[in-house]
Amino acid sequence: LRFPSACDIDQHDFAAILDAIHDEVRQRLGEGRQADYIKALAEVSLDGFGMALVLRDGRVFEVGSARHRFTIQSISKVHTLTLALDAVGDALWERVDREPSGDAFNSLIQLEYEKGIPRNPFMNAGALVVADVVLSSCSDARSRLLAFMRARSGNPGVACDEDVARSEAETGHRNLALAHFIKSYGNLHNPVEDVLDFYYHQCALSMDCVDLARSMQYLAGNGHCSVSGEQVVSGELATRINAMMMTAGTYDAAGDFAFYVGLPAKSGVGGGIVAVVPHVLSLCVWYPGLDDKGNSLLGRYALHRFSRMTGLSVF
Ligand code: DON
């Protein structure tokens, strides 16, 4: 077995580990800053922290505000990447690269000298191309993604927070610029407005830590979703998506995440971070105070402590 701890998962007292992490982060509530470039997110208070963990056998451990709903923002890029790969397979990689960027999530800088091919599917530029692929692959992309999220999380109540979607559209000048720039290279096939509308709605999906941890089960289970019992993607594809999360899931902090956490992870500016221990478990943390790279500050600390307390870093 590649991960010996996977066969002895009950050696870990996950309830006690989550309690210990909660005690540590409680002292630090208030640190970091909300994503104030989206008006609806700027108003969130910094007094809540939640964490949830789901084992392959379906057992859930949770602490704090693990049932508090927040908008998943860029975490949705994992799910839309899955839908795009399901729709067009490896042809996706002709339109999006799969290298870490070293730049901020909303950076435009590499796009011109790389001729409209975004560095990876997790920075905004790449996610817009992925959104375009999903739009082209079905008649109603928003419903398709919503159904996927509900099935993966087992929660039929997953829905979009229309206020957040609208709020982001009002101030989304940079995403509008990115989309037009990519379109000028012919790498968006649908109208820019349609791509952005889908993108803002995927970002504004409202879920809690338990929903999100469950939604990652297929990436912890070789493509098999323990929630619905379905084989969502092949084991090979799950491995590849996890690799993408490790190298690009936290943007220009991916190196630091590998260093301190050592798990495939994907963050969102709503304060959520999902992570996967391949073959073992999936988890999600939420704290809306962000660091200067746009990743949840205490979320990142909690994942660091989790990986060190359990020894479950992939390294
Ligand atoms: O495109 C945006 O700006 C956001 N709706 C999503 C960005 C995001 O979550 C980046 N993550 N850390």
Atom of ligand 1 nearest to the CA of 200: 5
Whether this model's pTM surpasses 0.90? yes
Query: Catalytic site residue 134?
Result: no
Ligand-binding site membership of 124 (annotated): yes
Choosing from 133, 158, 199, 215, the catalytic residue is 199
Q: Is 140 exposed, middle or buried (0-12, 13-18, 19+ CB in 10 A)?
A: exposed
The answer to whether the annotation marks 251 as part of a ligand binding site is: yes
Mean pLDDT of 81-94: 98
Ligand 1 atom closest to Cα of 293? 12
Name the burial class of residue 91, with classes exposed (0-12), middle (13-18) and buried (19+) by CB atoms within 10 angstroms of its CB: exposed
Tell me if 267 CB under 6 Å of ligand 1. Answer: yes
3-state secondary structure of 123: coil
- Residue 10: pLDDT above 50? yes
pLDDT, tens digit, for every residue of 24-77?
Answer: 999 999 999 999 888 888 989 999 999 999 999 999 999 999 999 999 999 999
What is the ipTM, given to two decimal places?
A: 0.96
Tell me how far apart the alpha carbons of residues 309 and 242 are, in angstroms, rounded to a whole number: 22
- Structure-block tokens of residue 282: 């999936």
Q: Is 168 in the pocket of ligand 1 (CB under 6 A)?
A: yes
**269 catalytically annotated:** yes
pLDDT digits (tens, 9 = 90+) for 238-281: 999 999 999 999 989 999 999 999 999 999 999 999 999 999 99
β strands within the chain, DSSP E: 50-55, 60-64, 70-71, 159-160, 205-207, 265-267, 272-277, 281-286
Residues in the chain: 315
Atom number, ligand 1, closest to the C-alpha of residue 105: 10
| Fold adopted by 4-310 | Beta-lactamase (3.40.710)
